[in-house]
């Protein structure tokens, strides 16, 4: 056994590429875990820090936990409750907390951009920590966070404007707040209690009452005691509980991230598996003679399989360990990048759990061994005599099984995919995804059937361009279709997925733009600048000002919120039924339904109503965080994709059930005869005090939607690009191994007069042909899957199918060029061979 | 084919065409080749002086390790000398750079190895025209036909090497060496792996190339019968030319080898 292993170690260098492929994929796996763990730990840490010195918090009950990182959607608590709480035995101190929207404006009059993160205004509390100055007192004083002050060059004593939901006011900066352990850098403004209540519009009320326990009284005991005397609609919870809730809401908000990242990691591993399988196939073929010799010396088939598998385990282990370490580095790099972008995590150290290493290494090793299994089995099928005589005995073995599995996977995948396209099943998009994976595997397994012919066609222009060297390169690519096919297949997967994303993005953009063109009748749409955090939006005062502007004929506000249905979070939009249909033209039935809607009713998307078995007139039990479960009457259904949610209520119903006062967007129609330019000028003048609101015409709305798509698309493409990189690595690896195998041929070519330059050109041509094959297959696959995916997403509003031809062609071209570049090193190695040594080598 | 034959003008030229020319097709002067470092150095060539006349079929014989292959490699531009010089025609190889050497090998020299002469991916026809293709030239169709017919491979042109016998493979290699009309062809034990019939066919072919087309050939061989096909035998021992023989027969070659103590 040891002797067998030594043979394996001798080829260590040749396994370098394989180990690197494993390492890259595992980097993504472990990086994902480290990043997720770090972010979660940071959320918990920050949430715990935010509790301050209180042990228990008194607040209104909420019947429904909001999903995202919003400030809790709760009724305020009457200020009078404070005295009752203070009188409870065991309470050392209690105070009030008031929080709301307050955005700071810099010296130039522009709002200090918190990049969509909360801009919080609150009342001073006894446990506030000041970095400089004093706590604010009186109606004209504010304390702001030291970080914002530093970044904007604000000094103590400076005057600063603050935007509230109802007004803009000027204050004197009296103090700087010490940085608390916030998850995200947000701007903070603190006022004295009365001022805070006034500017935040909650006179006489507070959001919560934090309570400190006397020594010897546990938070839990105190909580129980307070709860016993509180009316039903209020509750006391420990700050630990609040921290937990807050951390959970954060964690939930980013929960999609690890799943998404792990999917990309799985893709990378799949691509890596192709390369591993290929490498081991080549190595086994090259060692056929050695293995046959061992067989004839009495090694059992089991021993040979074991020796190849040991090699796989070793490669997988080395690659995975490197990958885990690299994942740690990558996660730290990303965290640093987040910090640069403003998402400064309080605990800067990356969290590395043993679980990360275990899963990373296990994934790497298991994939490597699985991928090496078929080649390892083939090693044992070498008949001693056949291999000794130099015949390539391992060529056709297992071809039948491969075709059967390939055809099976392909057909099953196609069937699954088509059910998704036809809209069958609960989640058509997922059916398409699963079907696509099956088809990819099928195509990869069947590809060797056509790889030879395909290489001939793909290589034709190269041969015309570069002559004999390209011709020889093409012959080399065609001589082992399986090797060429599986190397190309790895690239196909990477390019295919990048292509699908490009098609999806183009289609989503086109659909959004189509919707705007078809249905948007408003002249302008007003939205908050930045990413639109939960506490910011278009302030109600803006709506009032717009109504008072003569150039504006109609103003229609749209708000959004979350609610619960059987414990699951849903979203809704709230509209003004009398004006919204003038702003958004929808199909007649949907429009009529909206116009009939009143405050007791809800409109539901037709497909959703069907899924729940609701009919018009039925009651829909909607649970609101503030007001509990309301039975809303289903007054109609709609089908239009112009509405980006499944549920619509009136603004009246919204105001009755939500404390939120900001609009997601406000649509504006100009008075007859007012030109767009004049209208915009007048609107902007009216909103001069509200720099947080941007005014968009149709083109700008389309552009903003495109931006949103791109913001998602860029990181996704970057992550998929890693798979492409692994596939390119595979090309380099395959070529390096092939060159080793063909040393003698290369020597012969040089001896009969092939120039080094021509030899390099030959190897690069082979690389380019493989890459071009993979890229073109990838584009074909992308076009098909893109079509399927978009078809399956029609119900989600993706109605247009767009193939970004230039982009796809560019992608294929880029991949081919990159493939050629991947061939540069092997080519140089080949050209560097000494002619005579090469000829007399035993390969 | 007759058109391509040189028309002999005098009796001497008919019998010994190489005696007439003054510039040799290839020449080695004081050629020395050392292998290894100072302590373990091997003098593979130890001051070789030899000329190869144009249109002459020369055999090189000598005991194993006497430096035959080394000499051939150095003459063909596949290897470089430690000292001394070799020339192809009037070109002194030592002055050439890598790129020029490559071009020389491609255009002016043909080489036939003992085995593994062909690219497995190419057909016989493609293998034959490979040096021309690398030069970006088309083969002269008449000459190509002639060569193919002389080698007797017309019905095997579409086959790949794996589908050809050893003898056929060597004949393809010979055709390849011939088709670009090099000034000189070097062959290192071309019949070493062939049985006597296949070897005989190849030798007959080479002989014909010399007689009919005035091709210059230098062939290393251990086989006196093979050497007897040549016009001249050069004997090498311990890296030096020790003797030569014109119009050899197999018997005389055997005798001579015995004298050399081979
Ligand atoms: N690459 C090398 N490194 C070291 N020594 C070498 C090398 N090639 C040849 N030699 C030595 O140079 C000498 C001449 O070798 P060469 O191959 O020219 O002999 P040869 O006459 O062709 O022998 P044979 O008839 O066995 O082919 C031998 O002693 C050999 O060991
Ligand atoms: Mg030799």
Residues on chain B touching A472 (C-beta within 8 angstroms): 119, 121-122
Ligand nearest to the CA of B222: 1
Output Rg (C-alpha) for chain B, integer angstroms. 18
Distance of CA A727 to the CA centre of its chain: 22
Give the number of C-alpha atoms closer than 13 A to the C-alpha of residue A661, restricted to the C-beta side.
Answer: 15
> Which pLDDT score is estimated for A6?
54
pLDDT of residue A186: 67
Pairing type for strands B240-246 and B91-92 reads unpaired
b/e for A243-267, b at 16 or more Cβ within 10 A? bebbbbbbbeeeeeebeebbebbbb
For range A557-562, the mean pLDDT:
89
DSSP at A691:
T
Q: How far is A745 from chain B (nearest CA, A)?
A: 6
pLDDT of residue B6: 39
Q: Extract the runs of DSSP E, i.e. beta strands, from chain B.
A: 26-35, 42-52, 57-61, 83-88, 91-92, 109-112, 184-188, 217-220, 232-237, 240-246
Inspect the interface and report whether the beta carbons of B120 and A479 lie closer than 8 Å. yes
Cα A648 to the chain's mean position, in Å?
A: 28
b/e map A686-696, b = 16+ CB within 10 Å: bbebbbbbbbb
Q: A181-185, A269-273, A584-588, B4-8: which range is least confident on average?
A: B4-8
Return the residue matching tokens 């903003």: A704
CA of B239 from ligand 1 middle (Å) equals: 10
Task: Report residues whose beta carbon is within 6 angstroms of any ligand 1 atom.
Answer: B 35-36, 42, 44, 62, 64-70
Output the pLDDT for position A394: 41
Exposed, middle or buried, A92 (CB in 10 Å: 0-12/13-18/19+)? middle
C-alpha neighbours within 13 Å on the C-beta side of residue A110: 8
Quick: pLDDT tens for B36-71: 877 778 899 999 999 999 999 999 999 999 999 999
* Residue of chain B whose Cα is closest to the Cα of A473: B121
- Decide if B78 touches A, using CB distance below 8 A: yes
Residue A457 Cα, gap to closest chain B Cα (Å): 17
Q: At what angle do helices A239-253 and A16-50 cross, to 10 degrees?
A: 140
Domains in chain A: boundaries: 1-52+238-396, 53-237, 450-519+699-843, 524-696
β-strands A524-528, A693-696 pairing:
antiparallel
Q: Beta strands A665-670 and A552-565: pairing type? A: antiparallel
Task: Give the CA count within 13 Å in the CB-facing half-sphere of A402.
Answer: 17
Interatomic CA distance for residues A830 and A745, integer angstroms: 11
Per-residue pLDDT, A348: 56
Cα of A18 to nearest chain B Cα, Å? 27
Which residues in chain A touch residue B121, judged by CB atoms under 8 angstroms apart? 472, 475-476, 478-479
- For residue B196, report the distance from its CA to the centre of ligand 2, in Å: 20
Tell me if A58 sits within 8 A of A235, measured CB to CB: yes
HSE-CB for A112 with a 13 A CA cutoff? 29
**Confidence bin at A58 (pLDDT 50/70/90):** confident
Instruction: Answer for the pair A176, A132: CB distance below 8 angstroms, yes or no.
Output: yes
Q: Identify which of B58, B54, B97, B62 has the alpha carbon closest to the alpha carbon of residue B77.
A: B97
Per-residue pLDDT at A194: 83
* pLDDT averaged per 10 residues, chain B (length 262): 38 47 84 84 91 94 92 91 92 89 90 86 91 88 87 87 88 89 92 85 89 92 92 93 91 86 58
**A172 CA to centre of ligand 2 in angstroms:** 98
Which helix (H) or strand (E) segment holds residue A174: the answer is: strand A168-177
* B138–chain A Cβ distance below 8 A for any pair: no
In terms of Cα–Cα distance, which of A611, A607, A606 is closest to A636? A606
Q: Which residues contact B140 (CB under 8 A, 6 or more apart)?
A: none
Query: Min CA distance, A471 vs chain B (Å)?
Result: 10
Q: What pLDDT band is residue A180 in, cutting at 50, 70 and 90?
A: low
- Tell me the residues of chain A between 736 and 795 that have a Cβ less than 8 Å away from chain B: 744-745, 748-756, 758
- Whole-angstrom CA distances from A592 to A123, A573, A582, A636, A646 are 46, 17, 12, 9, 17
Give the residue, by CA position, lying nearest to ligand 1 atom 27.
B64
Q: What is the rounded CA–CA span in Å between residue A119 and residue A239?
A: 22
- DSSP letters along A695-706, please? EE-HHHHHHHHH
Distances in whole angstroms, Cα of residue A115 to Cα of each of A179, A595, A700, B181: 18, 37, 19, 77
> For the purposes of burial, counting CB atoms within 10 Å of the CB of A346, is it exposed (0-12), middle (13-18) or buried (19 or more)?
middle
Across the interface, which of A467, A475, A748 has its CB nearest the CB of B116?
Answer: A748
Vertex A564: Cα angle to A558 and A570 (nearest 5): 50
Token pair recorded at residue A682: 């007048």
CA distance A768 to A779: 16
Most confidently modeled range among A245-249, A252-256, A383-387:
A245-249
Does pLDDT of A467 surpass 50?
A: yes
Alpha-carbon distance of A820 to A770, in angstroms, equals 9
Q: How far is CA B242 from the centre of its chain?
A: 20
CB contact under 8 A, A752 and B102: no
Residue A218 has pLDDT above 50, yes or no: yes
Which has the minimum average pLDDT: A604-608, A635-639, B7-11, B207-211? Answer: B7-11
A166 Cβ contact partners less than 8 Å away, ≥ 6 residues apart: A199, A201, A539, A540, A541
Asked if B176 lies within 8 A of A478 by C-beta distance, the reply is no
Q: Which residue pairs from B65-71 have beta carbons closer than 8 angstroms and sit at least 24 positions apart in sequence?
A: B66/B236, B66/B237, B66/B238, B66/B239, B67/B33, B67/B236, B67/B238, B67/B239, B68/B188, B68/B220, B68/B236, B69/B188, B69/B220, B70/B33, B70/B44, B70/B45, B70/B239, B71/B28, B71/B31, B71/B45, B71/B236
Contact A284, A371 (CB under 8 A): no
CA contacts within 13 A on the Cβ side of A86: 9
Block residue for tokens 């000329």: B51
Strands of the sheet containing A234-238, edge to edge, are A91-94, A209-213, A56-60, A234-238
Determine the distance separating the centroid of ligand 1 and the alpha carbon of B66, expressed in angstroms.
7
| Lowest-confidence segment of A257-261, A704-708, B165-169, B235-239 by average pLDDT | A257-261
What would the DSSP string read from start to end of B155-221? Answer: GGTT--GGGS-HHHHHHHHHHHHHHT--SEEEEESTTTTS-HHHHHHHHHHHHHHHHHH---EEEE-
Pick from A67-71, A618-622, A655-659: least confident: A67-71
Phi, psi (degrees; rounded to nearest 5) at A637 = -125, 160
| pLDDT for residue A562 | 84
The answer to whether A468 faces chain B, any CB pair under 8 Å, is yes
Taking residues A693-717, report their average pLDDT: 85
Residue A602 in 3-state DSSP? strand
pLDDT value for B216: 94
Mean pLDDT along residues A201-227 = 84
CA-CA distance, A757 to A763, in Å (whole number)?
10
Tell me the pLDDT band of A296, cut-offs 50, 70 and 90. Answer: confident
ipTM for this prediction? 0.85
A113 touches chain B (CB under 8 A): no
Which chain B residue is nearest to residue A841, measuring alpha carbons?
B116
The H-or-E segment that residue A632 falls in is: strand A628-638
* A198 and chain B in contact, CB less than 8 A: no
Q: Tell me the mean pLDDT in the region A816-840.
A: 86
- Secondary structure element (H or E) that encloses residue A119, with its range: strand A119-123
- Minimum-distance CB partner of A752 among B79, B120, B130: B130
Report how far ligand 1's centroid is from the alpha carbon of B104 (Å). Answer: 24
B261 alpha carbon to ligand 1 midpoint, in Å?
Answer: 18
- Between CA B119 and CA A120 the distance in angstroms is 76
Q: Which of B70, B221, B223, B238 to mutate to test the pocket of ligand 1 (most atoms within 8 A of CB)?
A: B70
The rounded distance, in Å, linking the Cα atoms of A616 and A672 is 38
Judged against a pLDDT cut of 50, whether residue A44 lies above it is answered with: yes
Closest atom of ligand 1 to CA, residue B68: 21
Q: What's residue A426's pLDDT?
A: 67
Nearest 5°: phi and psi at A193? -60, -45
CB-CB neighbors (< 8 A) of B130 in chain A: 468, 749, 752
Are B198 and B206 in contact by the 8 Å Cβ rule? The answer is no
Q: Is B85 helix (H, G, I), strand (E, B) or coil?
A: strand
User: What does the alpha-carbon distance between residue A638 and residue A594 come to, in Å, rounded to a whole number?
Assistant: 8
* Residue A390 structure tokens: 């130099």
Please name the member of B107, B110, B122 whose beta carbon is closest to the beta carbon of A475. Answer: B122
Report yes or no: B107 at the A interface, CB cutoff 8 Å.
yes
Supply the CATH classification number for the domain B10-260. Answer: 3.40.50.300
Rounded CA gap, A497 and A716, in Å?
Answer: 10
**CB-based contact, B105 to chain A, within 8 Å:** yes
Predicted pLDDT at B3: 36
Chain B residue numbers touching A756 (CB-CB < 8 A)? 98-99, 102
Of the candidate ranges A191-200, A256-265, B26-35, the one whose mean pLDDT is the lowest: A256-265
Q: Identify residues whose C-beta is under 5 A from ligand 2, the ion.
A: B 69
Mean pLDDT of chain A: 82
- B217-220 and A665-670 beta bridge pairing: unpaired
Minimal Cα distance from B180: which residue of A? A752
Query: Distance between the two ends of chain A, CA-based, in angstroms?
Result: 26
B119 and A748 within 8 Å at the Cβ level: the answer is yes
Residue of the CA atom closest to atom 30 of ligand 1: B65
Residue B70 CA, ligand 1 centroid: distance in Å: 6
Of B66, B113, B188, B192, the residue with max ligand 1 atoms within 8 A of its CB, to mutate for a pocket test, comes to B66
What pLDDT score was predicted for residue A444?
85
Q: Looking at chain A, how many residues does it have?
A: 843
Give A794's DSSP letter: G
Q: What is the DSSP letter of A390?
A: T
Average pLDDT on A272-280 reads 86
Model confidence pLDDT, tens digit, residues A652-693: 999 998 877 788 889 999 988 889 999 999 998 888 877 778
- Nearest Cα neighbor of A676 from A695, A689, A704 is A695
> What residues of B are in contact with residue A468 (Cβ under 8 Å)?
130, 133-134, 136
């Amino acid at each position: 056994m040891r002797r067998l292993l030594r043979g394996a170690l001798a080829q260590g260098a040749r396994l370098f590429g394989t180990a690197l492929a494993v390492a890259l994929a595992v980097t993504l796996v472990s990086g994902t875990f480290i990043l997720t763990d770090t972010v979660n730990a940071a959320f918990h840490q920050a949430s715990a820090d935010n509790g301050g010195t209180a042990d228990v918090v008194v607040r209104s009950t909420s019947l429904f936990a909001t999903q995202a990182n919003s400030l809790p959607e709760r009724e305020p608590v009457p200020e009078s409750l404070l005295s009752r709480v203070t009188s409870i035995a065991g309470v050392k101190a209690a105070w009030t907390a008031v929080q709301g929207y307050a955005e700071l404006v810099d010296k130039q009059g522009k709002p200090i951009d918190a990049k969509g993160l909360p801009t919080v205004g609150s009342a001073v509390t006894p446990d506030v920590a000041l970095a400089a100055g004093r706590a604010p007192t009186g109606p004209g004083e504010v304390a702001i966070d030291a970080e914002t002050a530093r970044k904007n060059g604000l000094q103590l004593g400076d005057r600063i404007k603050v935007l509230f939901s109802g007004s803009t006011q000027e204050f004197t900066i009296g103090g700087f707040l010490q940085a608390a352990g916030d998850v995200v850098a947000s701007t903070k403004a603190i006022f004295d209690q009365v001022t805070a209540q006034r500017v935040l519009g909650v006179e006489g009320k507070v959001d919560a009452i934090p309570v400190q326990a006397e020594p010897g009284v546990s938070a839990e005991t105190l909580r129980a005691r307070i709860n016993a005397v509180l009316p039903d609609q209020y509750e006391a919870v420990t700050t630990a509980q609040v921290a937990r809730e807050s951390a959970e809401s954060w964690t939930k908000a980013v929960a999609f991230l690890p799943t998404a990242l792990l999917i990309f990691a799985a893709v990378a591993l799949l691509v890596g598996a192709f390369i591993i399988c290929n490498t081991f196939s080549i190595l086994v073929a090259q060692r056929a003679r050695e293995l046959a010799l061992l067989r004839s010396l009495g090694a059992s088939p089991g021993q040979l399989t074991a020796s190849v598998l040991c090699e796989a385990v070793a490669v997988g282990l080395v690659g995975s360990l490197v990958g885990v370490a690299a994942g740690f580095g990558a996660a730290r790099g990303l965290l640093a990048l987040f910090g640069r972008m403003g998402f400064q995590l309080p605990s800067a150290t990356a969290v590395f759990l043993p679980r990360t290493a275990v899963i990373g290494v296990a994934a790497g090793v298991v994939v490597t061994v699985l991928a090496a299994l078929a080649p390892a089995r083939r090693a044992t099928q070498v008949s001693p005599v056949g291999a000794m005589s130099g015949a390539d005995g391992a060529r056709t073995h297992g071809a039948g099984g491969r075709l059967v599995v390939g055809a099976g996977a392909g057909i099953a995948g196609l069937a699954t995919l088509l059910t998704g396209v036809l809209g069958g099943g609960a989640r058509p998009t997922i059916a398409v995804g699963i079907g696509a994976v099956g088809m990819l595997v099928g195509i990869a397994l069947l590809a060797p059937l056509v790889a030879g012919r395909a290489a001939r066609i793909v290589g034709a222009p190269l041969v015309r361009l570069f002559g004999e060297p390209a011709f020889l390169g093409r012959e080399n690519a065609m001589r082992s279709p399986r090797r060429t096919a599986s190397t190309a297949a790895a690239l196909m997967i990477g390019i295919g997925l990048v292509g699908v994303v490009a098609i999806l993005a183009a289609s989503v953009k086109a659909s959004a733009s189509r919707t705007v063109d078809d249905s948007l009748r408003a002249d302008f749409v007003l939205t908050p600048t930045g990413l639109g955090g939960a506490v910011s939006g278009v302030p109600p005062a803006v709506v009032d000002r717009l109504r008072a502007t003569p150039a504006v004929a109609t103003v229609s506000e749209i708000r959004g919120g979350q609610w619960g249905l059987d414990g699951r979070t849903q979203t809704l939009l709230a509209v003004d039924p009398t004006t919204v249909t003038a702003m958004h033209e929808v199909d007649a039935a949907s429009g009529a339904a909206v116009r009939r809607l009143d405050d007791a009713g809800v409109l539901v998307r037709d497909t959703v109503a069907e899924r729940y078995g609701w009919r018009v007139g039925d009651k829909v039990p909607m649970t609101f965080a503030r007001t509990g479960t309301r039975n809303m009457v289903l007054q109609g259904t709609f089908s239009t994709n112009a509405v980006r949610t499944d549920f619509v209520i009136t603004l009246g119903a919204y105001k009755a059930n939500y404390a939120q006062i900001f609009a997601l967007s406000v649509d504006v129609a100009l008075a007859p005869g007012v030109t767009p330019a004049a209208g915009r000028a007048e609107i902007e003048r009216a909103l001069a005090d509200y720099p947080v609101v941007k005014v968009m015409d149709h083109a700008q709305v389309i552009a903003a939607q495109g931006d949103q798509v791109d913001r998602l698309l860029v990181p996704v493409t970057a992550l998929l690009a890693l798979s492409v990189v692994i596939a390119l690595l595979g090309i380099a690896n395959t070529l390096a191994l092939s060159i080793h195998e063909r040393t003698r041929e290369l020597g012969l070519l040089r001896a009969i007069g092939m120039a080094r330059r021509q030899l390099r050109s030959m190897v690069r041509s082979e690389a380019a042909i493989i890459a071009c094959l993979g890229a073109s297959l990838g584009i074909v696959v992308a076009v098909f899957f893109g079509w399927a995916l978009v078809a399956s997403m029609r119900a989600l509003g993706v109605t247009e199918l767009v193939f970004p031809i230039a982009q796809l062609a560019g992608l294929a071209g880029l991949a081919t060029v990159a493939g050629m570049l991947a061939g540069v090193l092997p080519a140089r190695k080949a050209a560097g061979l000494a002619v005579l040594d090469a000829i007399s080598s035993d390969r | 084919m007759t058109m391509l034959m040189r028309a002999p003008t005098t009796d001497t030229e008919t019998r010994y065409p190489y005696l007439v020319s003054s510039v040799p097709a290839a020449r080695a002067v004081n050629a020395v080749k050392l292998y290894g470092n100072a302590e373990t150095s091997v003098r593979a060539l130890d001051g070789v002086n030899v000329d190869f006349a144009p249109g002459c079929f020369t055999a090189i014989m000598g005991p194993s390790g006497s430096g035959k292959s080394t000499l051939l490699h150095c003459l063909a531009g596949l290897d470089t000398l430690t000292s001394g010089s070799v020339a192809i025609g009037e070109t002194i190889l030592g002055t050439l750079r890598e790129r020029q050497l490559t071009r020389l090998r491609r255009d002016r020299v043909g080489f036939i190895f003992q085995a593994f002469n062909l690219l497995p991916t190419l057909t016989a026809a493609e293998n034959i025209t490979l040096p021309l293709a690398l030069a970006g030239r088309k083969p002269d169709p008449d000459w190509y036909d002639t060569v193919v017919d002389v080698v007797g491979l017309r019905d095997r042109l579409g086959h790949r090497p794996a589908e050809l016998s050893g003898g056929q493979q060597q004949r393809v290699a010979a055709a390849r060496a011939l088709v670009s009309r090099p000034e000189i062809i070097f062959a290192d034990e071309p019949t070493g792996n062939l049985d006597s019939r296949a070897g005989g066919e190849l030798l007959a072919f080479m002989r014909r190339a010399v007689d009919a087309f005035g091709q210059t050939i230098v062939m290393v061989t251990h086989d006196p019968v093979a050497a007897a096909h040549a016009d001249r035998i050069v004997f090498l021992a311990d890296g030096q030319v020790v003797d030569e023989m014109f119009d050899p027969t197999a018997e005389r070659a055997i005798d001579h080898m015995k004298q050399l103590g081979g």
